[in-house]
């Protein structure tokens, strides 16, 4: 049997065997957590089914070392040809199979049991991948001008990627809900900051533009052009925009791969890869601009592109200042052979880098002046925030740890990058490529450990984009020169997809809510804040400010200071001037009522998830708040608490 086939089938059967063992352990832990015995008929049957499948996989795995497996595979392929007359029906089965895993996770009963059980989901994923690949072998889809049908490896890779794509899209779509209150810490604050670009129309006053992520909030603000829209439209726009820009970046890169099937497989893989990197939409914009327009053969166009992309980055995030120019330099090192002296060869990327940095600083300075924000230091809070180096390693804030998570997610691309050979690439080109990747990896790691970060891999964004660019170029070059002919191609994609499966299938959940209870809480909050506003007192929304932006709560004059995201940023960066104003307003009981998340006085141990953020918030916000304000009512079902001024300040606060 062909060595490539051996690798494929051993990977598949080995994966099924391993995941079956881990799925049974997952099932045992589930039974302990939920307090039910596995001897119940339905759970016993489920356990036996997993074990039997694992044993069958072990048998097939053993057979791959014998001559009988090739005969078995040939017999199975011959059997599948009988289904060719039912191609359309089989194609329907294929599409239906893609919905099985999401439906299981979202099922009202089963989802609550297996939704967070990774290895049960991975076990199901392996089985469905084989089933869907079988359907594709029956349908015999043809690709390219030579009408080439999919091999088993390509079928398995496509089936696995299609499964993960559908699962990812379904899970992401759950966020597009009409639930009126905030979901998570920051996501819905985006809609308030986006509304500031239309402050005059929405709030009747000119307000300072956002301090954090201005370009992100600008592109998120476009639905406000159409007036008052429900919250689900804004949420839908953010998902569509992020996924759309991600797909655009991927498609621009995949142009380099001329083999149709591998361009498609790569596009699907790269799309899911970037989604797992949690890259913000506004940071995909300069990447897209650079990838589309920069070319060492068109120097003038490249100069303009670098300046524009760097200016956008300058108004986005401070750690992205050098990224557009570094991506352009990577394109240069990847495409331009060294035919000059080293200094002459490095001159153009060096000048690009300096120009990009200068453009970013200039655009940020212009934005600060135009934004209406008085304190310039509020734009540089990340430079003075505490660094929590433990978050580089596995822990409760992000289970895999930033280092392991980033390396494991990008492992297929790293393997492609290190396949660059000195005999084919001049050392100075390799030095330029790997130096850029290393610098962006280290930079992303440092930003990830800043207090407030480290919950996912989104701060590794520049590294992920750069390694994807390099990996794509190496992949396309390998296919073009046929240097991958002795290596498994479809098998390579299938193995890379298994890395994605581990990340994607860790996620799940739903946004279901008691509509009557939630609307009742919303109406009570409206009544409370409206009565205070009518009495002439100020209402401060520290959280849930998006309710004002989408006009779910109307006729409440907006207090622009002390929104939760910025307040937390100033707390973490120890901005004493900003916090001094906050404490002064609390002491003077400036606000008649404050809308905030439920507050607690429980300090967490350092090993707990986001312990540092929780503790500093309690010390710098919650306790000063309790000195001069007291809880009025807690709406626990929607995560809102109202505070009103105390008759007397707590003793010892002054």
Instruction: Please give the sequence-ordered ranges of beta strands (E in DSSP) within 369-474, or none if there are none.
Output: none
Q: How far is CA 107 from CA 92, 98, 115, 400, in A?
A: 22, 15, 9, 28
Model confidence band, residue 486 (pLDDT cutoffs 50, 70, 90):
low
For residue 258 the two structure tokens come to 């001329």
* R_g of the chain, CA atoms, integer Å: 28
Strand, helix or coil for residue 142: strand
Distance CA 269, CA 475 (A): 13
Torsion angles phi and psi, residue 46, rounded to 5: -65, -45
**Mean pLDDT (whole number) for 15-35:** 91
How much is the pLDDT for 609?
A: 85
For tokens 């297929």, name the residue.
412
How much is the pLDDT for 615?
A: 94
Contacts of 340 (CB under 8 A, 6+ apart): none
Q: How far is CA 158 from CA 14, 135, 436, 524, in A?
A: 19, 11, 32, 51
* String of DSSP letters for 541-602: ESS-THHHHTTSS-S-----TT-HHHHHHHHHTT-HHHHHHHHHHHHTT-EEEEEEPPP---
The secondary structure of 238-268, three-state, reads HHHHHHHHHHHHHHHHHCCCCCHHHHHHHHH
Strands 142-143, 640-645: pairing is unpaired
Average pLDDT of the chain to the nearest whole number: 90
How much is the pLDDT for 483?
A: 56
How much is the pLDDT for 357?
A: 96
Model confidence band, residue 2 (pLDDT cutoffs 50, 70, 90):
low
How much is the pLDDT for 385?
A: 83
Contacts of 619 (CB under 8 A, 6+ apart): none
Strand partners, 148: 143
pLDDT in tens, 614-650: 999 999 999 999 999 999 999 999 999 999 999 888 8
Widest CA span in the chain: 87
- Phi-psi group of 599: left, alpha or beta (phi > 0 → left; psi -120 to 50 → alpha; rest → beta): beta
How much is the pLDDT for 482?
A: 54
Strand, helix or coil for residue 607: coil
**Mean pLDDT (whole number) for 582-605:** 94
35 pLDDT more than 70: yes
**461-480 helix and 281-293 helix, angle to the nearest 10 degrees:** 30
Torsion angles phi and psi, residue 117, rounded to 5: -100, 95
Q: Within 10 A of 549 (CB to CB), how many other CB atoms are there?
A: 27
For residue 439 the two structure tokens come to 């610098």
How much is the pLDDT for 169?
A: 95
Higher pLDDT, residue 122 or 610 = 122
Distance CA 519, CA 211 (A): 32
For residue 579 the two structure tokens come to 């916090």
**Residue 118: CA atoms inside 13 Å, Cβ hemisphere, count?**
10
508 pLDDT more than 80: no
**489-504 helix and 118-139 helix, angle to the nearest 10 degrees:** 140
563 pLDDT more than 80: yes
How much is the pLDDT for 1?
A: 53
CB 50 within 8 A of CB 27: yes
For residue 32 the two structure tokens come to 């302990």
Percentage above 70 pLDDT, the chain = 95
**Mean pLDDT (whole number) for 266-273:** 96
Q: Within 10 A of 344 (CB to CB), how many other CB atoms are there?
A: 10
Distance CA 361, CA 368 (A): 11
For residue 28 the two structure tokens come to 């045992």
Strand, helix or coil for residue 522: helix
424 pLDDT more than 90: no
Distance CA 543, CA 640 (A): 8
**Mean pLDDT (whole number) for 58-77:** 89
Contacts of 488 (CB under 8 A, 6+ apart): 4, 7, 8, 153
Distance CA 315, CA 217 (A): 11
Lowest mean pLDDT among 141-145, 223-227, 346-350, 552-556: 141-145
Strands 538-541, 591-596: pairing is parallel
Minimal CA–CA distance to 497: which of 84, 98, 158, 47? Answer: 158
Highest mean pLDDT among 63-67, 153-157, 192-196: 192-196
How much is the pLDDT for 186?
A: 80
- The length of the chain, given as a count of residues: 654
489 pLDDT more than 60: yes
CB 455 within 8 A of CB 610: yes
For residue 158 the two structure tokens come to 């496509």
pLDDT in tens, 428-459: 999 999 999 999 999 999 999 998 888 889 99
Strand partners, 538: 591
Contacts of 21 (CB under 8 A, 6+ apart): 54
Strand, helix or coil for residue 350: helix
How much is the pLDDT for 654?
A: 66
The secondary structure of 90-125, three-state, reads HHHHHHHHHCHHHHHHHCCCHHHHHCCCHHHHHHHH
Higher pLDDT, residue 79 or 242 = 242
Lowest mean pLDDT among 276-280, 380-384, 498-502: 380-384
pLDDT in tens, 464-473: 999 999 999 8
Model confidence band, residue 73 (pLDDT cutoffs 50, 70, 90):
confident
**Mean pLDDT (whole number) for 254-262:** 86
* String of DSSP letters for 161-224: HHHHHHHHHHHHHTT-----S--SSSTTHHHHHHHGGGHHHHHSS--PPPSS-HHHHHHHTGGG
pLDDT in tens, 526-535: 999 999 999 9
How much is the pLDDT for 282?
A: 93
pLDDT in tens, 375-392: 667 787 777 788 889 999
Q: How far is CA 56 from CA 50, 59, 63, 78, 433, in A?
A: 10, 5, 11, 21, 46
**Residue 619: CA atoms inside 13 Å, Cβ hemisphere, count?**
11
Cβ burial 462-484 (10 Å sphere, 16+ → b, else e): bbbbbbbbbbbbbbbbbbeeeeb
How much is the pLDDT for 114?
A: 84
Distance CA 430, CA 197 (A): 44
How much is the pLDDT for 143?
A: 61
Residue 26 burial by Cβ neighbours in a 10 Å radius (0-12, 13-18, 19+): buried
How much is the pLDDT for 423?
A: 64
How much is the pLDDT for 243?
A: 97
509 pLDDT more than 90: no
Q: How far is CA 240 from CA 184, 233, 234, 235, 546, in A?
A: 19, 10, 10, 9, 19
Model confidence band, residue 144 (pLDDT cutoffs 50, 70, 90):
low
Tally: H helices and E strands in the chain: 28, 6
Strand partners, 593: 539
pLDDT in tens, 296-351: 999 999 999 999 999 999 999 998 999 999 999 999 999 998 888 889 999 999 99
């Amino acid at each position: 049997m062909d060595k490539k086939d051996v690798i494929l089938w051993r990977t598949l059967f080995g994966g099924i065997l391993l995941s079956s063992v881990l799925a049974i352990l997952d099932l045992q832990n589930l039974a302990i957590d939920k307090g039910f015995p596995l001897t119940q008929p339905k759970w016993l049957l489920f356990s036996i089914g997993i074990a039997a499948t694992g044993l069958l996989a072990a048998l097939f795995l053993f057979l791959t070392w014998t001559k009988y497996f090739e005969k078995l595979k040939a017999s199975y392929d011959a059997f599948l040809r009988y289904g060719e007359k039912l191609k359309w029906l089989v194609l329907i089965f294929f599409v239906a199979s893609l919905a099985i895993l999401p439906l299981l996770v979202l099922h009202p009963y089963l989802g609550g049991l297996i939704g967070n059980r990774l290895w049960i989901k991975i076990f199901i994923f392996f089985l469905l991948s084989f089933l869907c690949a079988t359907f594709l072998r029956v349908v015999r889809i043809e690709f390219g001008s030579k009408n080439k049908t999919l091999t088993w490896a390509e079928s398995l890779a496509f089936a696995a990627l299609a499964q993960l794509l559908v699962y990812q899209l379904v899970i992401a779509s759950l966020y597009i809900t009409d639930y009126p209150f905030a979901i998570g810490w920051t996501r819905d604050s985006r809609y308030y900051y986006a509304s500031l670009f239309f402050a005059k129309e929405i709030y009747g006053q000119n307000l300072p533009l956002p301090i954090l992520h201005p370009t992100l909030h600008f592109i998120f603000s476009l639905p406000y052009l159409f007036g008052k829209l429900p919250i689900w439209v804004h949420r839908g726009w953010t998902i569509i925009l992020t996924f759309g820009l991600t797909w655009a970046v991927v498609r621009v890169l995949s142009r380099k791969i001329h083999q149709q099937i591998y361009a498609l497989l790569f596009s699907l893989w790269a799309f899911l890869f970037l989604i797992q990197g949690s890259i913000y939409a506004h940071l995909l914009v300069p990447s897209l601009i650079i990838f589309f327009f920069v070319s060492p053969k068109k120097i003038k166009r490249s100069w303009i592109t670098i300046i524009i992309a760097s200016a956008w980055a300058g108004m986005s995030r401070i750690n992205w200042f050098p990224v557009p120019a570094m991506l352009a330099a990577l394109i240069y090192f990847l495409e331009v052979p060294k035919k000059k002296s080293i200094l002459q060869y490095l001159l153009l990327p060096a000048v690009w880098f300096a120009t990009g940095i200068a453009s970013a600083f200039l655009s940020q300075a212009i934005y600060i002046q135009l934004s209406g924000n008085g304190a310039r230091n509020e734009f540089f809070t990340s430079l003075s925030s505490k660094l929590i180096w433990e978050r580089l390693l596995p822990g409760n804030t992000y289970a895999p740890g930033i280092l392991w998570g980033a390396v494991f997610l990008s492992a297929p691309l790293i393997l492609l990058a290190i396949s660059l050979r000195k005999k084919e690439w001049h050392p100075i080109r390799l030095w330029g490529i790997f130096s850029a990747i290393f610098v962006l990896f280290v930079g992303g790691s440092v930003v990830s450990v800043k207090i407030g970060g480290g919950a996912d891999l989104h701060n590794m964004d520049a590294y992920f984009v750069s390694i994807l660019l390099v990996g794509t170029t190496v992949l396309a070059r390998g296919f073009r020169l046929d240097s991958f002919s002795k290596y498994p191609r479809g098998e390579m994609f299938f193995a890379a997809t298994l890395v994605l499966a581990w990340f994607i299938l860790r996620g799940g959940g739903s946004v279901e809510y008691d509509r009557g209870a939630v609307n009742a809480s919303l109406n009570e909050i409206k009544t409370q804040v409206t009565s205070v506003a009518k009495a002439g007192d100020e209402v401060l929304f520290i959280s849930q400010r998006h309710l004002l932006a989408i006009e779910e709560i109307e006729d409440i004059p907006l207090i622009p200071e002390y929104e939760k995201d910025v307040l937390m940023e100033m707390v973490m960066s120890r901005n004493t001037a900003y916090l001094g104003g906050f404490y002064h307003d609390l002491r003077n009981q400036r606000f008649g009522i404050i809308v905030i998340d439920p507050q607690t006085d429980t300090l967490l141990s350092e090993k707990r998830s986001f312990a540092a953020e929780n503790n500093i918030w309690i010390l710098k916000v919650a306790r000063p708040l309790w000195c001069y304000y007291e809880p009025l009512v807690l709406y626990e079902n929607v995560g809102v608490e109202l505070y009103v001024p105390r008759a007397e300040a707590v003793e010892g606060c002054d």
